[in-house]
Amino acid sequence: MTRRRVVTVMTHVALLVSGLAWLYPLFWALGSSLKGDDDFFSEGLNPMPSHFLWANYLDAWREASFGRYFLNTLVITLGTVVVTLVVTSTAGYVLARTRFPGRGFCLGLVSATLFLPHGYTIIPVFDLMQRLHLLNSLWSVIIVQASGGVVFGTFLFMGYFMAIDRELEDAAQVDGANFHQTFARIMLPLSGPMLATVGLFTAISAWNSFFIPLVFTLGRPELRTLAIGMYAFIGENSTEWTLLCAGTVITLAPIILLFLLLQRFFVNGLAGAVKQ
Amino acid sequence: MVTTVSVREDVATAEPPRSAGRRRARRRTYLWSYVYLAPMMVLLLAFVVYPIVASLGYTFYKWDGIGDPTDFVGLDNFRQIVHDSIFWRSLGHTFVYAAFVVPTQLVLALALALVLNNKRLRFASFYRTLFFLPVVTSAAVIGVVIQLLVSNFGDSINDLLLKLHVIDQRVDWLGDPHFALAIIILVGIWHTFGYNLVYFLAGLQTIPDELYEAARLDGAGPLATFRYITIPMLRAVGVVIVILAVIGTFQIFDLVQVLTSGGPYFSTEVVNTYIYHLAFGGSNANAVQPDIGLASAASFIYGVLLIVFSVVQVLVLRSLAKRRATGGKA
């Protein structure tokens, strides 16, 4: 019994120490964001600042444009989440519930694109956006970002709606509900967990996205997102390290908090995807 | 699509009046189905399917991306890419990256999942969160942090590692071709490790407790249980995990672009950064003029390689899993 106890305690110590060490880069960035310039160099790898310099955040927000980048990122993330949820929940509902002519073709197309490698087709998309005069706008980022996730979201919603009992819809239709009312009043309110799952996946990938906003805001610094702002910052003001660390925290903190609040949806979604 | 169908339905309504009402209702349902489906299909066709087709068209032109492509060069772009040693080197780096990241992640993630799957272990979900957290952070921002750490405190890291006898001489971390790729690999392992952990945990939870119970009663030790129950039962999920991990590593771009931009001297150039530099101009030493045709040709070759590779991978892993499963039964 005591031996088992020792093993248990050792396991916890090992897990805790390695788990915290695992997050060292994040702790380092957090600590360094509060350091002064002298501190930053003298303390080096030690994440703990000797005094807390909160002004770094104000400077990063105002002078280094992180406030603007934050707003851009927020708009892109919210826009992408809304577009994705609307588009994938309606498509998933229809594919799950009506046997319309052409359903097989649509389903086949959707499945085929799920297995195609993405990312190498950015050039035609760039050209298309240029011709639609959407280049260098937040819209282009939202649309391209959302289109990257529609297949995955549609599949998740389709599976979710298929598992819901038909009786509720039949009852609604007997009561005279039309197509939209059945979807909006019966099915959508039932799909809360799936809205959260798809919404969270989309929010995380939109917030963290680098390649798409990089390509579509190349010519317009004022449209940069946080990730692009950070990347550009290295090249442009290459000495204000503590501001850059504050920028890191501004970028990472919101998404980490969102994840911690809603993580069961995220983890269940991932687990479901691999078990199928 | 909508119009042809509704025309056909119009003809069909000229039938006995009894079913006309139901037909009309069904027609309306179909019509609204198309309306509900349309936004998704438009996004899919315009931004996923069309680009795949269109990128083939650009490969035949010499084009800098401004105006319309007019300078037809036939298969010249393909010829250039195939003869460009940097393309092959970046393909090699991508494979090296995958070859280190995937096995390391799988072994570590399975080991940790086995520890965390123990039902008597308290706070297991807290530990899972700790190890999973890097997944939700932006690869680009992590790249910036690592850049800051290494470029400012590379010496401190050297001191530490010298003291620990991990290295025997000072290292120029991002300036030395070998170490630059090694750092990208390490950060890559760290960043997406959590996916594999969660996948393995999900897989382990599908194994019924009775199997372990029965094995224990038969006197099987932990190693035998792992070998004869855990591994065979994880095979199906394992195939999916490997495929997802490999596909993920082949998409590497953010980390490389932020950490080294493919340098020094192309020693960390991967295919996606190579294509990016061709299409949008490089921040590399030999910055080139944007060449969309060349970039499209490289994209197309890589796309075909990836599709072939994924198909082969799926087939091989499936048959491997099947053969082992039946072999185990015999």
Range 239-278 of B in CB contact (< 8 A) with A: 240-241, 244, 247, 250-251, 253-254, 257-258, 272, 275
The answer to whether A21 and A27 have CB atoms below 8 angstroms apart is no
Helix/strand/coil for B48: helix
In a domain, A21, yes or no: no
Place of tokens 């980048």: A69
DSSP conformation class of B230: I
- The Cα–Cα gap between A122 and A258 comes to 29
- Residue A227: which of A240, A208, A242 has the closest Cα? A208
In a domain, A242, yes or no: no
Q: Which two tokens stand for residue A69?
A: 């980048």
The answer to whether A126 and A216 have CB atoms below 8 angstroms apart is yes
The answer to whether B168 and B135 have CB atoms below 8 angstroms apart is no
Q: Do B52 and A116 touch (CB under 8 A)?
A: yes
- For residue A120, give the nearest of B34, B145, B302 by CB distance: B302
Q: Do B149 and A227 touch (CB under 8 A)?
A: no
Residues of B in contact with A274 (CB under 8 A): 199, 202-203, 237, 240-241, 244
Which residue from B minimizes the CA distance to A7? B121
Whether the pLDDT of residue B241 is over 70: the answer is: yes
- Residue A148: which of A95, A238, A212, A97 has the closest Cα? A212
Q: What is the ipTM of this complex?
A: 0.86
State pLDDT tens for residues B282-321.
654 445 678 888 888 998 888 888 888 888 888 888 787 7
The kind and range of the H/E element at B71 are strand B71-72
Residues of B in contact with A245 (CB under 8 A): 145, 148
Q: Which two tokens stand for residue A92?
A: 């998933």
Residues of B in contact with A266 (CB under 8 A): 136
Range 72-111 of B in CB contact (< 8 A) with A: none
Angle made by CA atoms B114, B95, B305, in degrees to the nearest 5 = 115
Q: Do B43 and A143 touch (CB under 8 A)?
A: yes
The answer to whether A216 and A136 have CB atoms below 8 angstroms apart is yes
Q: Do A45 and B275 touch (CB under 8 A)?
A: no
Q: Do B299 and A144 touch (CB under 8 A)?
A: no
State pLDDT tens for residues A231-274.
888 777 567 888 888 989 999 999 999 999 988 888 887 877 77
SS3 per-residue string spanning chain A: CHHHHHHHHHHHHHHHHHHHHHCHHHHHHHHHCCCCHHHHHHHCCCCCCCCCCCHHHHHHHHCCCHHHHHHHHHHHHHHHHHHHHHHHHHHHHHHHHCCCCCHHHHHHHHHHHHHCCCCCCHHHHHHHHHHCCCCCCHHHHHHHHHHHHHHHHHHHHHHHHHCCCCHHHHHHHHCCCCHHHHHHHHHHHHCHHHHHHHHHHHHHHHHHCCHHHHHHCCCCHHHCCHHHHHHHHHHHCCCCHHHHHHHHHHHHHHHHHHHHHHHHHHHHHHHHHHHC
Q: Do B258 and A274 touch (CB under 8 A)?
A: no
Please count the structural domains in chain A.
Answer: 1
Q: Do A267 and B132 touch (CB under 8 A)?
A: yes
Query: What is residue B328's predicted lDDT score, i.e. its pLDDT?
Result: 45
Q: What confidence tier does B13 reach under pLDDT thresholds 50, 70, 90? A: very low
Whether the pLDDT of residue B14 is over 60: the answer is: no
- Residue B256: which of B245, B267, B247, B248 has the closest Cα? B267
Whether the pLDDT of residue B5 is over 70: the answer is: no
Q: Which two tokens stand for residue A70?
A: 């934050």
Q: Which two tokens stand for residue A254?
A: 């919101």
C-alpha B245: how far from chain center:
6
- For residue B44, give the nearest of A45, A110, A180 by CB distance: A110
In a domain, A97, yes or no: yes
Q: Do A101 and B30 touch (CB under 8 A)?
A: yes
- For residue B279, give the nearest of A98, A123, A230 by CB distance: A123
Query: What is residue A72's predicted lDDT score, i.e. its pLDDT?
Result: 94
- The Cα–Cα gap between B76 and B128 comes to 51
Mutate to test the interface with A, among B10, B121, B144 (most CBs of A within 10 A): B144
Annotated domain spans of chain B: 1-34, 84-329
Helix/strand/coil for A78: helix
Residue A176 sits in a domain whose CATH number is 1.10.3720.10
Q: Do A228 and B203 touch (CB under 8 A)?
A: no
Range 2-61 of B in CB contact (< 8 A) with A: 5, 28-30, 32-34, 36-37, 39-41, 43-44, 46-52, 54-55, 58
As a whole number of Å, the CA-based R_g of chain B is 27
The number of beta carbons lying within 10 Å of the beta carbon of residue B156 is 13
Domain span including residue A109: 65-236
- For residue B136, give the nearest of A45, A102, A204 by CB distance: A204
**Beta bridge partner(s), residue B72:** B61
Q: Which is more confident, A191 or A118?
A: A191
Q: Which two tokens stand for residue A30?
A: 């957090």
B137: contact with A, CB 8 A cutoff: yes
Which amino acid, residue A191? S
Q: What confidence tier does B1 reach under pLDDT thresholds 50, 70, 90? A: very low
Residues of A in contact with B159 (CB under 8 A): none
- For residue A274, give the nearest of B49, B115, B199 by CB distance: B199
Mean pLDDT along residues A54-78: 89
Task: For residue A186, give how far its alpha carbon lies from the nearest alpha carbon of chain B (Å).
Answer: 16
DSSP conformation class of B72: E
Mean pLDDT along residues B178-188: 92
- Residue B192: which of B95, B103, B105 has the closest Cα? B105
Mean pLDDT along residues B63-82: 83
Query: What is residue B24's predicted lDDT score, i.e. its pLDDT?
Result: 84
- For residue A45, give the nearest of B153, B275, B310 by CB distance: B153
Q: Do A256 and B133 touch (CB under 8 A)?
A: yes
DSSP conformation class of B123: T
Q: Do B39 and A91 touch (CB under 8 A)?
A: yes
Query: What is residue B329's predicted lDDT score, i.e. its pLDDT?
Result: 43
Q: What confidence tier does A180 reach under pLDDT thresholds 50, 70, 90? A: confident
- For residue A88, give the nearest of B40, B141, B295 by CB distance: B40
Chain pair A-B, CB pairs under 8 angstroms: 257
Find all residues with CB under 8 Å of B46, minimum gap 6, and list them. Answer: A128, A147
Best CATH choice for the domain B84-329 from the list 3.10.580.10, 3.30.420.140, 1.10.3720.10, 1.10.8.100 = 1.10.3720.10
Whether the pLDDT of residue B8 is over 50: the answer is: no
Q: Which two tokens stand for residue B199?
A: 């996948």
Q: Do A252 and B156 touch (CB under 8 A)?
A: no
What is the percent of chain B with per-residue pLDDT over 70, rounded to a whole number?
Answer: 90
Residues of A in contact with B133 (CB under 8 A): 23, 26, 256, 259
b/e per residue, B62-101, with b = 16+ CB within 10 A?
bbebeeebeeebeebbbebbeeeebbebbbebbebbbebb
- The Cα–Cα gap between A215 and B60 comes to 23
Q: Do B303 and A120 touch (CB under 8 A)?
A: yes
State pLDDT tens for residues B117-148.
988 888 988 999 999 999 999 998 899 899 88
